[in-house]
Structure 1
Amino acid sequence: MSETQSMDQLLAIMTQLRNPEGGCPWDLEQNFASIVPSTLEEAYEVADAIESNDMPQLKEELGDLLFQVVFYSQLGKEGNLFDFNDVADAISQKLLHRHPHVFGDKHLQDEDAIHQNWENLKAQERAAKGLSSVLADIPLALPALSRAQKLQRRAANVGFDWKTPQAVLDKLDEEHQEFTEAMTANNREAMADELGDMMFCLVNLARHLKLDAETVLRQANRKFERRFNDVETQVVHSGEDWPAHSPEQLEAYWRQAKENTRNNLD
């Protein structure tokens, strides 16, 4: 089956699922808002398959994510708003516009120049929509780390930024001191505020090091999970329940787990 035939088949399946005559009752009840949680879940499952290097699973998850786009497009078609062809055409035109160094005659020498041109074009697009703020249209629904990094990147594009990673580290030291003072005073409101500043600063450090903060934390989560699973195994092999283990024993298990997983680049 060709790519066109496969896409046509998927669109036809979606149309039938939403057909009041013989369609799926669940699909017929859905609207734009109701399927957003599924879209977010499918996007994270794609990321998980990639991080696990599970290509068969990735193929399946990409299909699930594509179905989300097809679902929204069907809803748009039913409301005479847009259809799948409109969606595909819109992203094609956007990519053509944002890649003049590939599809036009503009010469951009390196990755930094390409990135700056991309941001300039996005700024022009925001202005054309009547969005004057540099921080306009950054979705509130983004994961907090991703949104923090995007806010910082936008600000950096207009020169509001630290010059070096060391400058960010110095700022982190300052925020740490303020958090310590709030904790010493047992001021929960101040602690939450200062801890937020520390986390925001850490995201800034990741950005300066050209690391993605969300990815870095996801990797840390996976590392903790692997090591904790190793600790669980050691607890089981000990023949004792968790409450029977002292903090010192559990710390020893943790150190062993770290040693056991070093070969996994933890």
Structure 2
Amino acid sequence: MVEYQQKEYYRISDLVDIVKLLRGEGGCPWDREQTHKSIKSDFIEETCEVIEAIDLEDTDLLREELGDVLLQVVFHCRIEEETGSFTFDDVCDEICKKLIIRHPHVFGDVTANNTEQVLKNWDAIKMETKGQERYTDTLTSVAKSLPALMRAQKVGKRAMRAGMDFRCAEDAVACIGNEKAELDAAIANNDKANIEEEIGDLLFSCVNAARHLGVDAELALKAATEKFIERFSVTENLVSADELDMKELPIEELDIYWAKAKTIICKTEERKND
């Protein structure tokens, strides 16, 4: 058994020490076997659970899930510390320096009276400190591991800051129609490769329109998916109430049940709002 002093209240230094013990001789066999790659999916999962806690507005759950994310940070730092690369303190040092450098209007003599000026300064400083000489560098630096919609929206936003963007939301929305026409042409030609390309262009256009309309594309699709699941569930309940099986019905009959489900959900929402 590893000796460790039990406390009534633990701090970040305790977490660092506990992870060190878990990874050390006499620690946990599972923890000692882990690498950056073996637990990278855990980082994504824990981050998503934080997002869910925020959506639920559950502060107790949020506190717990933030702790799980912090554990991931400390754990990855410990792996690097064992190789002599860097420590958790080094990570804290770097982010503190970054925050100070990128907020010259707070820690220096630069003036920024609104968010637009802050972001403009932030982008200029970021390009300089990261050695990004071209606007393209700011686009390619957006992590490829991000969800596709989120990455597309971020790339579009950075292109906008370089002056490459639609003049207005109406133009961005109109582009959706143009891309839909190109997709229709590809489908008519049965061009599989071009169909995939045009669907991608159509999705990218939708993301740009969402950005211009002040909508987060990732959250919008998430909400649409949840709405679909809810309506699907009500539809299935209606079908089951008639002692039928969804998969045995033609789509025309399912559409009738689907419309009924939509009506039920709308009436339920109206009663909630009354």
TM-score by length of 2: 0.87
* Pairwise CA distance, 1:24: 1.2
* Pairwise CA distance, 1:181: 0.5
Matching residue of 1:180: 184
The answer to whether the 8 A contact 2:127-2:133 is kept is: no
What amino acid maps onto 1:171 in structure 2? C
Deviations 1:90-143 (A, max 9, x none): 111111222222333322122222222221221112217999823242211111
The answer to whether the 8 A contact 2:156-2:208 is kept is: yes
The answer to whether the 8 A contact 2:234-2:261 is kept is: yes
The answer to whether the 8 A contact 2:169-2:212 is kept is: yes
* Pairwise CA distance, 1:179: 0.4
Q: SS in structure 2 opposite 1:109? A: coil
Residue number among 236, 247, 264 corresponding to 2:251 in the alignment = 247
Identity %: 37
* Pairwise CA distance, 1:243: 3.3
Distance 1:255 1:102, change over 3 A: farther
Matches within 5 A, 1:10-159: 10-19=15-24, 21-127=25-131, 133-159=137-163
Name stretches of at least 5 consecutive residues in structure 2 with no aligned partner: 1-6
Q: SS in structure 2 opposite 1:260? A: helix
What amino acid maps onto 1:18 in structure 2? R
* CA distance in 1: counterparts of 2:243 and 2:210, whole angstroms: 42
The answer to whether the 8 A contact 2:172-2:209 is kept is: yes
Matching residue of 2:200: 196
Asked if 1:211 is matched to 2:215, the reply is yes
Aligned length: 263
* CA distance in 1: counterparts of 2:119 and 2:192, whole angstroms: 41
The answer to whether the 8 A contact 2:152-2:207 is kept is: yes
Matching residue of 1:227: 231
Distance 1:16 1:245, change over 3 A: same
C-alpha RMSD over aligned residues: 2.4
What amino acid maps onto 1:63 in structure 2? G
The answer to whether the 8 A contact 1:126-1:132 is kept is: no
Residue number among 244, 259, 263 corresponding to 1:259 in the alignment = 263
Deviations 1:38-78 (A, max 9, x none): 11111112112222333332222211111100101111211
TM-score by length of 1: 0.89
Q: SS in structure 2 opposite 1:142? A: coil
The answer to whether the 8 A contact 1:145-1:203 is kept is: yes
Q: SS in structure 1 opposite 2:202? A: helix
Deviations 1:230-254 (A, max 9, x none): 2222233222222344434422332
* Pairwise CA distance, 1:6: 1.9
Distance 1:245 1:163, change over 3 A: same
Distance 1:142 1:67, change over 3 A: same
Distance 1:133 1:72, change over 3 A: same
